[in-house]
Each structure stands twice: as structure tokens, then as C-alpha cells.
Amino acid sequence: MERIKTLIIGSGPAGYTAAIYAARADLKPVLYTGMEPGGQLTTTTEVDNFPGYPEGIDGPTMMVQLQQQAERFGTQVRIGMINKVKFATEKGGIHKAFVEGGAALEAETVIISTGATARYLGLPSEQRLRGGGVSACAVCDGFFYKGQEVAIVGGGDTAAEEATYLAKICSKVTMLVRKDQMRASKAMQHRVNNTSNIDLRYNTEIDEVLGDQVVEGLRMRNNQTGALEEISITGLFIAIGHQPNTEIFKGQLDMDDAGYLITKGKSTATNLPGVFASGDVQDKEYRQAVTAAGTGCMAALDAERYLQEIED
């Protein structure tokens, strides 16, 4: 079986940054990309908030550049999916990972950067217009709708936070909450209620997103009365939660109730020695490319220190 020092699972900003640092520390990392090489950023258009790109950069290009940077220092990037792991539980133990299609490898350290997947409603019109005005990240894409009317779906903290964020940029934000109350904290609800250009609609769901190539409007349905109403918007933000990609680690790694990996203190260490987690898979608060990259760097440094400790 192939034996390596560092296996990195996932190819978003966290995984590639971990790879850059691990490769430069001579850990000879092997990175498996997962099903969506480049991760969530490949589904966004312009990235304007990653430091170092004064003119902005489109998400897919940025991810190709990160991959090239990781490869420049010797990272082996492999297109493929790790679909099973068997982690060692004692310090210095060897971790096993199984690749879809049959191959398997042994690794002294593993960095998990499998990310999280934004949840969508699943309406055909919503799926068709993803990238054409339907977005799951207000902080990434809100600026493109400066001065325009938009809508947001969801009643949690993310939706409340993103609605107030959008309200600063856009002329009007219609917020659709499916129940007669919001799940968001009282403080966040208070902020939404006190923002004059947020039009809060309870008991309201999307019937259809309107528009052919780009979002032009929304048909909403009041789920108590059945009444339909159409509004004109240019952007629709879906904020109904994320699903961390941690299914294959269940039963081995500590997770919170929502399935996010738990890391120790300020480090990226999981409950198992030699297994580290970085990026959105362990972060439901910030979820930014730059914070993911930061924790990717931390994970590689933690892995390097761990290997050094074993050698000493």
C-alpha cells in the first residue's frame, strides 16, 4: 500500500493552502480533490474580498492558481474522492484512506478540508439560475446588486446577518421566512426588524424564481392563505444552512450537532492524533475563503509539528 507523510482531503482554499505549506515543509503532500475540484469558490463568479487581488478575480481562476502554487512546491494533486477512512487512535499510528475506485493509501498525518455544501431549495427555476442571480453567499456576491432590489430566503442567523448586510448595499431586501417566526437569535431579529429597507415576510415561500437567463423576479406564496404575489428582483440569496461534508468521518471524529468537526482550542487538532481539520468543515461562523486559507496554513504547521514530535 502507498505510504505518505501527509494526505490532504479537499481542494478549496483550505486544502490548497495546507498543501502549499506542507509541500514547502517537505511533507510531500498528496491532495485528493473530491467531487468538486476547487470547492465552493468554483461556483461563484467574481471574488473581490480575497486580499491581494486589487481588481478581483473569478473563483475558478483563483482556484486554478492556488492549485498551481501548491503543485509548484511538489504537491501531488489527484482528481478523486476519498470515500472511507480508518484513522489510527494512538500517537504515531498510521491512518488509512480508501479512494473511490479501489486504491488505498496510508498516511502519517491527514488534513481534512472537505468543506461544507450550501443547501438550496431544490426548485428547478432556482437551480437553473444559479450563477445567473441566485447565490448562496451574500458576502461574496451582494456587491454585484448595489442599489438594486433583492430577496433572501431563510430565518436563521445566517439569513438575518446576510439580510442586514445586503440592506446596506441594496435598495430593498425582501426576506422570506417559511414559519411565523425566525430561528435567528433575538439580537439578530432585532437588527432585521430595525432595518427600514428589509421587507420581512413570514409564512412565505418561493413558488418560482422568474427569469430566463438571469433573475428578474420572484413569485412568492403565503403558505397560510395560498395567496401568490410577484415581485421584481435581480438577485436571490439562499441562506437556509450549510451541510458540512463529514459523513465519512462519523463515529471516528468528534463533531457538533450539525456535523461540523470539533478542533481543540486555537489549533486544528481533532480528537485523534495526527488528524487535523481546516476550512469550512470546522467553521460555521466565518466561512470565508481567506479564513479557510488561514486555517489550512495552521493545519499544515500543526501536522509538521506533530511529525517532528514523533521523530524526537
Q: Which stretch binds ligand NDP (CB under 6 A): 39-47, 90-98, 138-146, 152-160?
A: 152-160
Residue 78: exposure state from Cβ atoms within 10 A (0-12, 13-18, ≥19): middle
Per rule CB under 6 A, is residue 178 in the interface with ligand NDP? Answer: yes
Q: Do 159 and 69 touch, CB atoms closer than 8 A?
A: no
* Cell numbers placing 116: 461544507
Residues of span 58-97 touching ligand NDP by CB under 6 A? none
Q: In whole angstroms, what is the distance from residue 258 CA to residue 283 CA?
A: 11
183, 191, 201, 219: which one binds ligand NDP (CB under 6 A): 183
Of 3 and 186, CB closest to ligand NDP: 186
* Block residue for cell numbers 430577496: 151
Catalytic, out of 137, 157, 170, 283: 137
Cα dihedral 277/259/77/308 (nearest 10)? 20
In a 3-state reduction of DSSP, which class is residue 286?
Answer: coil
Amino acid at 54: P
57, 121, 139, 169: which one binds ligand NDP (CB under 6 A): 121
Q: Which stretch binds ligand NDP (CB under 6 A): 107-115, 131-139, 151-159, 243-251?
A: 151-159
Per rule CB under 6 A, is residue 179 in the interface with ligand NDP? Answer: yes
Please report how close the Cβ of residue 247 comes to ligand NDP at its closest, in angstroms. Answer: 18
Per rule CB under 6 A, is residue 201 in the interface with ligand NDP? Answer: no
Per rule CB under 6 A, is residue 259 in the interface with ligand NDP? Answer: no
Question: Does the annotation count 302 as an active-site position?
Answer: no
Question: Does the annotation count 297 as an active-site position?
Answer: no
Q: In whole angstroms, what is the distance from residue 27 CA to residue 254 CA?
A: 26
Question: Does the annotation count 137 as an active-site position?
Answer: yes
Of the candidates 192, 229, 232, 188, which has an alpha carbon nearest to the alpha carbon of residue 210? 232
108, 149, 157, 280: which one binds ligand NDP (CB under 6 A): 157
Q: What's CA 243's distance to the chain center, in Å?
A: 9
Q: In whole angstroms, what is the distance from residue 243 CA to residue 246 CA?
A: 9
Q: What are the catalytic residues?
A: 137, 140-141
Residues that bind ligand NDP (CB under 6 A): 121, 153-159, 161, 178-179, 183, 240-241, 284-285
